[in-house]
Every structure is written in structure tokens, then in C-alpha cells.
Amino acid sequence: MFSKRAVFIVFMILSLAACSTGAATEAVPVTPVLSDNGLTAEPVATENVVAPVVTQPPAVDPTAICPQAAADAQAYVSRENGFCFLVPASMKAAQPDYMHPGDVIAFVGPPNDPNSMEPLAAAISVSINAPAEGLDSAGYAQKWMEMGFGSPPPADLGMTLTDATIGGLPAAVVTNVPGMARQQVGFVVANGYRYTVTVFPQPGDYDAIDDQVNAAWKTVTESIVFFPPSVARTAVSSDSVCPKPTANTVLHVGNLDGVCFLVPSTFGKIADFANGYQGPAVLGDIFGRPLNAELVLGDGGPVEGKTPRQLFEPRLVNQEVSQIDVAGAQDTTLSGFPAIVWTEGEPLSSRQAIIVANGHMYTIVNQPYNDPDYVGGEADVELVWQTVTSSLAFFTPFR
């Protein structure tokens, strides 16, 4: 359970907050399909008749092998992500995924009770995650569990991993994945890429929509076809960019956020934060909890082409300017990455930063910073700031 201090830091972080061969092709009937933007896209031919060539066969559109829409199922094609599938006709395209808008395709079914404050509805998504990097489907599922939940995952979660088939390919399925409701996730490696299929909630958990859930899972996983994506993905490994620890530092690697940095060896992890550390000395307490020198880093999501200052400016509208040293906000670089650094006052004085790297906004909260109510820890606050911000490196997050 999160402590009050943890909730406070979460608030601070969140507030920072896609050859022609010359062969002739006959005109054939076509079937409209949905595409990546949820609108009617280039149609898929119901048959494909290509005139023969003598020396070399023509390039084949991979979507020619895609399933066709039916009365109870709509077709979806993503050339960019390298897959196509059927989904129940009753489901609608969901809002784009906030963290990975071009890589995750999601559909949601009708709510069982539209008038409920928290209506239940089936949701299913298909995601391209990264190059396979030598993993097969079972190995991918196992590593995903270990990265997200520990090795082994806590027994009380009851997570299970079983062999399966998705789109006719060897796959693995993990059940009892925690979330707002438990989820079922399928893992499959195809054409050198890692993919997941996720259904929410998992089958069997909610009788009122279980038919919806099962229909979504069965329709997608039995119909999906994988082909080489038109947009190639590359991966930067942590081993290739992360710094080497020294005698007085340890290396932190945040695999799920794609960030690594050095930390003073006297500092320890903050339990509630994947990328949070605290110093050895207690400086006082806040909200009834002990307070140490702290630094917490988080991933604030895609920047959509904005600079650090452009990402900072909305805070001057959404928060009382009196808490922010506006004049002192400094455009700079941290470990070579564009950044902005500033300080904030109540309820706890802190030094904060926004860094732009790999198309994402990363935020840092370093506290207490020059706070008269918490003295004696200034050296630790400065030590962890200098150590972390001078050693930052970013790589492809594990998904």
C-alpha cells in the first residue's frame, strides 16, 4: 500500500505531467476494412489475380492473406505494425494508448449497464512491442513476468503461464495479471518482433460480460495474421548505453522505463517507486512519515515534439505560480539531454526537472531542497542530484 509520502511524490511527478514489376492487376471486388486511425482505409481485395511474369514474381501485398470481414466480425489491418485480425462487430476502436499511441490497437465492447457509475465492458488490444532480441514466445512471457513482477512473481498473485497458439503460431498465455481487473495476456514472437494480445477483464471473472470477453479473445487470437511490418523497429539495449558503477556508486537500471543512472552507494531504494532512492539519514517527518534526502524519476509519456520548456509551461497555469521559482527556471542539458530545471516551495521545497529523451518526457523530483524545516541533509540531497543527473542514459524500455 502506498504511504502518504509516496502519494505526495506521485502527485509531484504526475503534475509534471505510427517495386513494381510492371505486372498488370485485374480489377476485383473489395471489402472495406478499418485501419490504424480507426477510419475506413485502403480496401483489401477479396481475391487477387495477378498477371504472370517471366523472370520474377511480383511483390505480394501481405494483407492479401488477411481475414475478411463477416456479418459478426470487422476486419482490422495495420501494415505499420505487421498484423491484421478480425474483432467482434459489436466492439469499437478505443482511444489511442497514451504511452504508445502508434503501437497498441485496442477495441472495447458495449457496457453491460450504460447507466452504472462503473460499467463493465470487454476490451482487447494487440501490441507490437520491440524486436525479438533472441526470445521465443515462452521466453518473452517469462521475461515479461520477471521484469514486471519479480522472479518469481509473488505467489499471492496466482499468475500462471501456459503454452498456447495465437494466429497458428506457438505462443504463451499469462493469466491473473493484476490491474483494475485481472487480465489475460498472450505473447507471440513473429517475423522477428514481440507481440502481445491482452483481454480485460480475463475470462471467467465477470459473468455479466463473460460471453463478450470470450468472443473477443477467440475471434482475435484465431484470426490474427502476422507479416513483416512496414515500419522497422530498432532496439537500444541497456548494456550498450548504461554507465559503469564506481567504487562509491551503484548502477540502477529501470527496464520498464528505459532509463539507467548511477546512485550513491549509501542510498537505498524507495519501495513505492521503481526509480526512487533515499539517503541514509532521517531529516524529520512529513505527513507522519520519516523524510530522507530523496530523488525519484518517472516517465511522463510522449512529448509530441515539445521542448522541455513547452512541457513545463502548463504548470504555470495548472498550479499556483507562487510555488514555482519562475524566474529561476533554467533551460539546460542533463547528461547531454535537453532539460529544464526549477524549484518549488510548499508543502515541501524541491528541485525538479523535465528531460526529453527518446521522444518521452522524464521527470525528476529531488527533495527536500533548501527547505528550512529540514536541515542537515543538504549534502545528501546535492550528492544524489549530481550523481544521477550526470550519469543518465536511456534505452528501449522492455514491453
CATH number of the domain that residue 135 is part of = 2.60.120.1690
What average pLDDT does this structure show over 114-137?
91
Task: Establish if 15 belongs to a structural domain.
Answer: no
pLDDT band of 319, cuts 50, 70, 90: low
Q: What is the reported pLDDT for 49?
A: 39
CATH number at residue 389: 3.40.1000.10
Does residue 31 have a pLDDT over 70?
Answer: no
Q: Residue 195 in 3-state DSSP?
A: strand
Q: What is the pLDDT of residue 190?
A: 96
Look at 200 and 321; give whichever has higher pLDDT.
200
Per-residue pLDDT, 114: 80
Both 200 and 271 in one domain: the answer is no
Distance CA 215, CA 192 (A): 28
pLDDT tier at 35 (50, 70, 90 boundaries)?
very low
Question: Across the strands, what pairs with 252?
Answer: 261
Domain total of the chain: 2
Residue with cell 537505498: 268
Instruction: Kindly state whether residues 139 and 244 are assigned to the same domain.
Output: no
Least confident segment among 51-55, 69-73, 83-87: 51-55
Higher pLDDT, 367 or 26: 367
Residues 254 and 375 in one domain: yes
Q: What is the pLDDT of residue 295?
A: 96
Q: Is the pLDDT of residue 42 over 60?
A: no
Query: What percent of the chain has pLDDT above 90?
Result: 60
Residues 6+ apart with CB under 8 A from 374: 283, 284, 291, 348, 368
* Domain stop point among 176, 206, 226: 226
The answer on 211 and 108 residing in a single domain is yes
pLDDT at position 57: 46
Q: Could you report the per-residue pLDDT of 76-101, keeping only the tens digit for each?
A: 999 999 999 999 999 999 988 888 88
Q: Is residue 119 part of a domain?
A: yes
- Asked which of 32-41, 128-137, 313-322, 330-339 is least confident by mean pLDDT, the reply is 32-41
Pick from 168, 197, 226: which residue ends a domain? 226
pTM of the predicted structure, to 2 decimals: 0.76
What is the C-alpha to C-alpha distance for residues 300 and 329, in angstroms, rounded to an integer? 19
Write down which residue in 188, 206, 226 finishes a domain.
Answer: 226
Cell of 5: 509520502
Q: Which domain holds residue 211?
A: 30-49+57-226
By DSSP bridging, strand 30-31 and strand 337-344 are unpaired
Q: What is the pLDDT of residue 1?
A: 40
**In angstroms, rounded to a whole number, what is the distance separating the alpha carbons of residues 166 and 301?**
30
Q: Kindly state whether residues 157 and 268 are assigned to the same domain.
A: no
Alpha-helix runs per DSSP H in the chain: 4-15, 137-149, 210-223, 238-241, 308-312, 315-318, 378-389
- Rg over alpha carbons for the chain, rounded to the nearest Å, is 25
129 and 261 in a single domain? The answer is no
Q: What is the pLDDT of residue 233?
A: 87
